[in-house]
Amino acid sequence: MNDARIRIAVLDDYQHVAMRSADWSPLEVRADITVFHDHVADHDVLVRRLQPFDAACVMRERTPMTGELIAALPRLRLIASTGRANASIDLDAAAARGVEVVNTNYSSTPTIEFTWAAILGLMRGIAPEAASVRAGGWQVGLGSELHGKTLGILGLGRIGSKVARIGQAFGMQVIAWSQNLEEEAASALGVRRVSKQELLAQSDVLTVHVRLSERTHGLIGAADLTAMKPTARLVNSSRGPIVDEAALVDALRSGRIAGAAVDVFDEEPLAEDHPFRTLPNVQATPHIGYVTEEMYRTFYGDTVRNLVDWLDRQSA
Q: Tell me which of 61, 239, 245, 256 is the catalytic residue.
A: 239
> Cα-atom radius of gyration of the chain, to the nearest Å?
22
> Any catalytic annotation for residue 233?
no
133 contact partners, CB below 8 Å, separation of at least 6:
none
> Any catalytic annotation for residue 239?
yes
Q: Tell me which of 100, 113, 129, 268 is the catalytic residue.
A: 268
Note the Cα 247 to chain centre separation in Å.
20
Count of other CB atoms within 10 angstroms of residue 125: 20
Distance CA 241, CA 199 (A): 19
Q: What is the dihedral of CA 248, 249, 254, 257, to 10 degrees?
A: 40
> Any catalytic annotation for residue 268?
yes
Distance CA 218, CA 221 (A): 6
Count of other CB atoms within 10 angstroms of residue 308: 15
The answer to whether 166 touches 117, Cβ cutoff 8 Å, is no
**CA-closest candidate to residue 24, choices 8, 42, 41, 37:** 8
Q: Catalytic residues, which ones?
A: 239, 268, 287
